Amino acid sequence: MRTLLIKNGRVIDPSQDLDSVQDLLIVNGRIQDVGTIETPQDVDQLIDAEGLIVCPGLIDCHVAFREPGFEEDETIASGASAALAGGFTTVATLPDTLPVVDSRASAEFVVRQSDRAAKCRVVPLGAVTKGHAGEELAEIGQLIDGGAVAFSDGKRPISNPEIMRRALQYTSIWGRAILNHAQVPELVHGGMMHEGFQSTVLGLRGMPAAAEEIMVRRDIALAETTGGRVHLMSISSKRSIEEIRQAISREIKVSADVSPHHLLLTDECLADYDTNCKVDPPIRTEEHRQALIEGLQDGTISCISSDHQPLSEEKKSLELDHAPFGIAGLETVLPLCVKALITPGYLDWSKLISKLTVGPAELLGLASGTLKPGSPADVTLFHPEEAWSIDTSQFQSKSHNNPFDGMSVQGRVKYTIVAGEILFTGNS
């Protein structure tokens, strides 16, 4: 038997309402016990976690790893390394690769590449439509057989309501969710930032909040009609939050996530035309930012996702109107959440960790996200107060497109453990 004992850490497990200084014993890749544990004489590894928070391994419900097709931005191996550095033990990859993950073989490719990398757990999201064309449903059952845990067309909204209705009907047979990029494509075509005062001042074409809100209302109506589960990715609008809150109160199967950059920044960040701040959905105004925080506080938003969109320097160094959307964010989620949510007192540690563990685990139907005895020993240890500066040149990701380079932050990952194996050790 292989044993790992973590001593004297502040164990926070929202799935068990646990928050106290305890020990954690791992045996053969599974959680054995949580409590006051005497150190066995034959323990293989011992971690003194005094001053550290010990929690279930973090889970990201949607990331882009680009392989196959765009390996210059990211590969499954490099993305998995970035995930470990960010404290993530499981990530779900978007299917917007080349070819698209719309068949059993393409889903199995992601699983095999994850196994070869032997880093964090990488699980595929299957495409909703063949080739992401939005015209014909992909083979949902075959994708599930290949390892797909949920379904999405990535950053392409499922704009045809009949396709979305049928997709919700099919996926509900297997109890799987559809993760949709809530946006009316025609309303944002050519847009570069939030439509409002700042876009007018900067002379940039805007992307109105209504484009998101209309699609949110449609998806809620279709989820109610079909009984299917819809998850709205990277929500950014105040009205969207209000619609989702009301839908949840009516017990419609709808959920949502938010990304750290939408919690920290406003559309003023584009005043110097920094392409690293060009994201989709766009960063909006202070009113919208505060609404997102309120949605996290009252449980309307169940997950926080990095919305990791790695892009090579050659692509992001173009002029703003030509540069693609996206931030490489896996390695900065924890400190940015501390800055946006913990330090101002909006969330406590248990609520924040729940958005990074329990919420995404429930969405994707995973057995992880908990430290209950018998569960997989995926564990993250971090120092909640350690101060450091973000240095994108040190990223494990192949891409460094992140607007927070040089920012002073607090909260640093010290150990990332997958199936009882220490796969990442952070620097002091």
Residues annotated as catalytic (active site), given as ranges: 307
Peptide bond into 99 cis (omega under 30): yes
- Per-residue tokens: 171: 């996926």
> What are the CA-CA distances from residue 215 to residues 137, 195, 235, 319, 428 (Å)?
19, 17, 11, 29, 45
Give yes or no for a contact between 50 and 384, defined as CB atoms under 8 angstroms apart: no
What DSSP element (H or E) covers 349? helix 349-356
Tell me the residue ranges of DSSP E strands in 148-234. 150-152, 177-180, 193-194, 206-207, 229-232
Residue 108 tokens, joined: 């199995």
Q: For residues 61 and 257, give the distance between their C-alpha atoms in angstroms, rounded to a whole number.
A: 9
How far apart are the C-alpha atoms of 207 and 203, rounded to whole Å? 13
As a whole number of angstroms, the distance between CA 328 and CA 310 comes to 4
- How do strand 3-13 and strand 53-56 relate by DSSP bridges? parallel
CA dihedral 126, 258, 54, 120 (to 10 degrees): 30
Helix, strand, coil: what percent of the chain each, to 5? 35, 25, 40
Supply the angle between the helices 286-297 and 238-249 in degrees, to the nearest 10: 20
Q: Which of 426, 417, 424 is nearest to 3 (CA)?
A: 417
DSSP result, 73-130: T--HHHHHHHHHHTTEEEEEE-S-SSS-S-SHHHHHHHHHHHHHHTSSEEEEEEPSBG
